Amino acid sequence: MKNRFMLAPLTNLQSHADGTLSDEEFHWLTLRARGGFGLVMTCAAHVQAIGQGFPGQLGVWSDQHVAGLTRLASEIRRHGSLGMVQLHHAGLRSPADLIGASPVSASDDEKTGARALSTKEAEQLAEDFVRAALRAQHAGFDGVQVHGAHGYIVCQFLSAETNRREDHYGGSLENRCRLLFDILEGIRARCRPDFLLSVRLSPERFGMTLAETTVIAQRLMDSGLIDLLDMSLWDVCKEPEEADYRGKPLLDWFTALDRGEVRLSVAGKIRSASETVRVFAAGVDALTIGRAAILHHDFPERCRDDPFFEPVELPVTPDYLRSEGLSDAFIGYLGNWQGFVAEE
């Protein structure tokens, strides 16, 4: 990787309804490669049609998606960046009216109407994550990230709040981790040895305690299965919400883990050159950049060239965002972020 800046897997609503890549999403992502990001990650790409989480989501559940992904991977590489597909399934967070069916999850969920996957369906889910990784490899990407954060289906299996199963996918933490490790072991067994494999986790929310998240993180680092652990920390400067863990930043609970050969990346309100320096100094290997990458396609180069660089002041106009490679669909989505987009 040419530097330690990674583009976060940002929801953008820009793909076609069938999950194939659009020119708008191609432009948004490849402009970040051109702007100097060492690794460019797609938005969450769903591995089953029933796992779609939002309109305009990139798909990787069918061979029909491979042509667009191939085009994307080639252009990212042309600019000297690594390309990675984030593998995703929304689970109970899939809107029923979007997928045309009841969503699925680790267990039944009365609020969303989600039904529990059978054991055989859970095994098929793991297989479909592996097949999606194979499609990404065939398309020319350098690796994939398994989305285990933010309350989506892998997280739903990890969490004791949403996983009340009585088979070997539920109960103990080891069993609740089984789906994730089945996915990782399948990808490692069937993709080439140098194919990069990452997992994204998030602590504290969506039924994930900090105690269990750090145990899972350490187990991943000890497993020999992954190359990169990506922690979505909400705010890298914040203290933990759980009283027993306060007294030092949330970030420090993960930099203190024994990483071995695994690299650690973090996300969470890293928006200026000085903040990147501070977080690198805390001991992380890479930064996963979200909002700052939306505002500045060349954020890594700006931080390199100006140690005092600060992002443009919010809110920004739609025209400004268009100049940064965003489509009207993406800009419309960002209109839901308080104080981000100025009214025209």
At 151 the pLDDT is 95
On whether both 105 and 229 belong to a single domain, the answer is: yes
For residues 110-124, give the mean pLDDT.
Answer: 97
On whether both 300 and 186 belong to a single domain, the answer is: yes
Rounded distance, CA 64 to CA 53, Å?
A: 19
Q: Structure tokens of 331?
A: 């800009």
pLDDT digits (tens, 9 = 90+) for 212-266: 999 999 999 999 999 999 999 989 999 999 888 999 999 999 999 999 999 999 9
**Residue 162 region, left (φ>0) first, then alpha (ψ -120 to 50), else beta?**
alpha
Residue type, 289: I
On whether both 260 and 344 belong to a single domain, the answer is: no
On whether both 47 and 180 belong to a single domain, the answer is: yes
On whether both 58 and 184 belong to a single domain, the answer is: yes
The mean-pLDDT minimum among 86-95, 146-155, 243-252 falls in 243-252
On whether both 322 and 215 belong to a single domain, the answer is: no
Alpha carbon of residue 270 to chain centroid: 16
The structure's pTM equals 0.97
Helix residue spans in 173-317 (DSSP H): 173-176, 178-190, 210-223, 252-255, 273-281, 291-295, 299-305
At 57 the pLDDT is 98
DSSP letters along 33-69, please? HHTT-SEEEEEEEESSGGG--STT--B-SSGGGHHHH
Q: Report the CATH number at residue 179.
A: 3.20.20.70
Number of domains in the chain: 2
DSSP letters along 241-268, please? SSGGGTTS-TTHHHHTS--TT-EEEEES
On whether both 263 and 306 belong to a single domain, the answer is: yes
- Full domain range(s) for residue 131: 5-311
On whether both 197 and 61 belong to a single domain, the answer is: yes
On whether both 201 and 329 belong to a single domain, the answer is: no
At 122 the pLDDT is 98
On whether both 258 and 130 belong to a single domain, the answer is: yes
Nearest alpha carbon to residue 294 among 336, 341, 231, 230:
341
In the chain, the N- to C-terminal Cα span, in Å, equals 39
On whether both 165 and 258 belong to a single domain, the answer is: yes
For the cut 90, the answer to whether the pLDDT of residue 343 exceeds it is no
For residues 181-192, give the mean pLDDT.
Answer: 98
On whether both 215 and 338 belong to a single domain, the answer is: no
Say which DSSP state 38 is in: S
